[in-house]
Structure 1
Amino acid sequence: MSERDDLIETLARHRGFLLQTAEGLTDEQARTSSTVSALSIASLLKHVADTEEQWMDFAVRGAEAFGDSTVYDADVDWEAVDAEAATNDGDWSDSDWEDTRFVLTDEETLEVLRARVAEVAAKTEAILREVDLDVTHPLPEAPWFDAGASWSARRVALHVIAEISQHSGHADIIREAVDGQRTMG
């Protein structure tokens, strides 16, 4: 098996874990925030699809892939947001900055979100089959990236694997709190 096949297979496996947490849920259950977090299984599906699509676009086009993303908006004063969060025990909710990456519209049903994850997965596979895994692009400026850092397409794929894996764990905890079902362990 090639490195590309390994990356594609690992992404599919971890995406499958995330999708499994949504199996058998109603739309209402999928939108339930069952922990102290505002996260729901539906919002995680949305976020993972959007994030995977954006990072794989970055692997091809570089930082312009982030366009007007609220997280990479140059107008955000991250020092002020961080300072405000520090005075509120890490809570950003009172900040002027709003993270809309997990906000769902009425049209984003569980069926629509699952289809979107599958659509993005197919695009990711096509990109990973063709892209030069060694091509690098400078990361956008953000407080969570080292200044001047660049990532290869390979590193982006590994990042997406980590992102999906982390959110699969979140979804598993949420699912267990919604109806007692567990997808892992």
Structure 2
Amino acid sequence: MPGQVGAISDEREGLLAYLAQMRYVLRLTAYGLSTEQLRATPTASPLSVGGLIKHCASTERGWIDTVRQQPQPVDYQAYADNFRLAEGETIEDVFAEYERVAAYTEKTVSEIADLGQAVPVDHSVPWNPKDIDAWSVRWVLLHLIQETARHAGHADIIREQFDGATAYPLMAAAEGWPETDWMKPWRP
């Protein structure tokens, strides 16, 4: 995937393309890391690269379930657990789940005629405003882009702690870009 989203023909395509791009750059933070590094928490926070990717997949699934109006119990322990890789869970497991979530999102959004369709606000959690009864599907997609981008930034910082690698050199390495004077693909 290129470093920039390509031309888009409409709002729906654009929202899905930007969400896909953010998923991609988040996944790139794991490129070349060992199992130990994927689980490591080298900053003051308890966040890890693998845990952030897992969290974003879980969060996206939860929001799309909300769009589909499928009930979801609030489970704070499960929420905390989705920020770390479980014992025996691999990054390949997390990537496979994220691929399923992405397909689920795209299928769901393609089946919705109007991105303005109401999505009920869950008032049982403290972070949602009490004076709004519904989001729109459009809002949910924008929120997912924001959430994924925020966590991609967290993952970038964690990744840099290991070997200084940043997004574009990682992308250049993963995609086989030629080395130039100004762009050196990451090397282990």
TM value normalised by structure 1: 0.79
Query: Quick one: higher RCO (CA 8 Å, sep 6+), 1 or 2?
Result: 1
What pairs up with 1:38-117 in 2 under 5 angstroms?
38-61=46-69, 64=71, 67-71=72-76, 99-117=80-98
Which segments of 5 or more consecutive residues in structure 2 lack a partner in the other structure?
A: 1-8, 170-188
Q: In 1, are the aligned partners of 2:49 and 2:158 still within 8 Å (CA)?
A: yes
Residues in 2 aligned to 1:181 and 1:114: alpha-carbon distance in whole angstroms: 20
Seq. identity, %: 39
Between the two proteins, the alignment pairs up a number of residues equal to 157
The corresponding residue for 1:154 is: 138
SS in 1 for 2:167: coil
The corresponding residue for 1:89 is: none
Which segments of 5 or more consecutive residues in structure 1 lack a partner in the other structure?
A: 74-97
User: Is 2:161 the counterpart of 1:177?
Assistant: yes
Please tell me the root mean square deviation across aligned C-alpha atoms, in Å.
1.9
User: Is 2:101 the counterpart of 1:120?
Assistant: yes
Residue-by-residue CA offset, 1:55-114 (whole Å, 9 max, x unaligned): 01111216x2xx22224x9xxxxxxxxxxxxxxxxxxxxxxxx83331321232111111
Tell me the CA shift for residue 173 of structure 1: 0.2
Q: In 1, are the aligned partners of 2:47 and 2:84 still within 8 Å (CA)?
A: no
